[in-house]
Structure 1
Amino acid sequence: MDLLLNHVNKYYPISQEAQHALRDNFEEIVLPKNELLLQEGKVCRHMYFVQQGCLRSFYNLNGKEITHWFGFEDDFVTSFHSFITQKPAIESLQVMEGSVLWAISKDKLTALFNQHHEIERLVRIVYEQYYIRLEERYVNAQFKTAQELYENLLTQNPHILERVPLGYIASFLGMSQETLSRVRNRL
């Protein structure tokens, strides 16, 4: 929990009272490798902070899994659309390594917004960071070549290559494993 509070204060410093409120409302969850944190079609009722481990979000398209994002230590993760709208998720969240997460329900978070406006501001900043990553991913997918996408991954997120199977990386980059292999061989 201390890692979560330290990380929160990097986003936006909050009062001791708000920190205690967060401490009282987050619960620790320990999950084994390959566990589904959320299954497509279910409503996402929690936001998570990754203390340890790795997760991925993926969609099913005609029986094929399409990786949307990865989450690692110090990331806030959820199915944002489902969490915000409380409608069934169109994605699944999978734990890729044994993981330690801190979870807070939508109801508890909403109650904290009403009690501590600084927590509302903090979560807005988390949402903004998610949106920025989403927009960067969209722009990259539209305008960069396969090699540029891979080079960008190498420079900005090399840890992904150490922790994620290449098949998931290829899917995340929007290319086949064969294309990814050719790009890697060229570099």
Structure 2
Amino acid sequence: MDIDNIIDNIYPLPEKSKTLLKENIYEITYPKAHVLFKANRIESTMYFIKKGIVRAYANPGDEEITFWFGKEGDAVISMKNYVENQKGYETIELLESCDLYKLNTEHLRKLFSEDIHVANWGRKFAEQELIKVEERLIFRQCRTAMERYKELMATDPELLQRVQLGHIASYLGMTQVSLSRIRAELK
């Protein structure tokens, strides 16, 4: 996905402001399995996915719990880093080789203080990310395992083709055995 489309999907900017923002964005490619962010670190960058897919997970014990997938057009960011400049709790790894747009968050904060349009873009970005988190929470907490799987099939069937079932099961809050049973029931 083109960086202009990504920026505009968040909040359309006047051309001068968009140019200022784009001057701080660089394209970069990483291979599959590369870790962009590690838990318990302060990260000074954010990314937008041009091509590829990533996952965010936490390790609250001995297992990894996947709580987010990002694909073309999505932002890859630790919101705790972005909002509070504190250590993030997530690890983010590439599930495919990815072409990314990289933006240093310190440069972005500087633009916030210099350009009201970029500041508004940043506010809209944070608001959209908050809504996505709220939707994921409701998705996971208020539906049965079968309903979660059916909704994922309806809203993001491509994810089921591109991501390992173990990661999908974790994201849906179930074991891989339970996911296999649900898939068998639906056939």
TM-score, normalising length from structure 2? 0.94
1:168 aligns with 2:164: no
1:67 aligns with 2:66: yes
Deviation by residue 1:45-103 (Cα, 9 ceiling, x = unmatched): 11111111111100012121100100100111111112322222211010111101111
Measured in 2, the distance between the counterparts of 1:110 and 1:143 equals 36
Give the deviation of 1:11 after TM superposition. Answer: 2.9
1:52 aligns with 2:42: no
Give the structure 1 partner of residue 75 of structure 2. Answer: 76
Give the deviation of 1:141 after TM superposition. Answer: 1.8
* One-letter identity of the residue aligned with 2:121: L
Give the structure 2 partner of residue 21 of structure 1. Answer: 20
**8 A Cα contact 1:58 1:65, kept in partner:** yes
**8 A Cα contact 1:43 1:83, kept in partner:** no
Number of residue pairs the alignment of both structures matches:
186
The 5 A counterparts of 1:124-163 are: 124-163=123-162
**8 A Cα contact 1:31 1:98, kept in partner:** yes
* One-letter identity of the residue aligned with 2:13: I
Report sequence identity in percent.
34
Measured in 1, the distance between the counterparts of 2:77 and 2:65 equals 17
* One-letter identity of the residue aligned with 1:53: G
1:12 aligns with 2:14: no
Give the deviation of 1:9 after TM superposition. Answer: 1.7
SS class of match (1:175): coil
**8 A Cα contact 1:40 1:91, kept in partner:** yes
RMSD (Å) for aligned C-alpha atoms: 1.3
TM-score, normalising length from structure 1? 0.94
Measured in 2, the distance between the counterparts of 1:143 and 1:69 equals 17
* One-letter identity of the residue aligned with 1:26: I
SS class of match (1:64): coil
Measured in 1, the distance between the counterparts of 2:115 and 2:40 equals 32
Where structure 1 has 5 or more consecutive residues not aligned to the other structure, the ranges are none
Moved more, 161-170 or 9-18: 9-18
The 5 A counterparts of 1:100-139 are: 100-139=99-138
Give the structure 1 partner of residue 31 of structure 2. Answer: 32
* One-letter identity of the residue aligned with 1:56: R
Where structure 2 has 5 or more consecutive residues not aligned to the other structure, the ranges are none
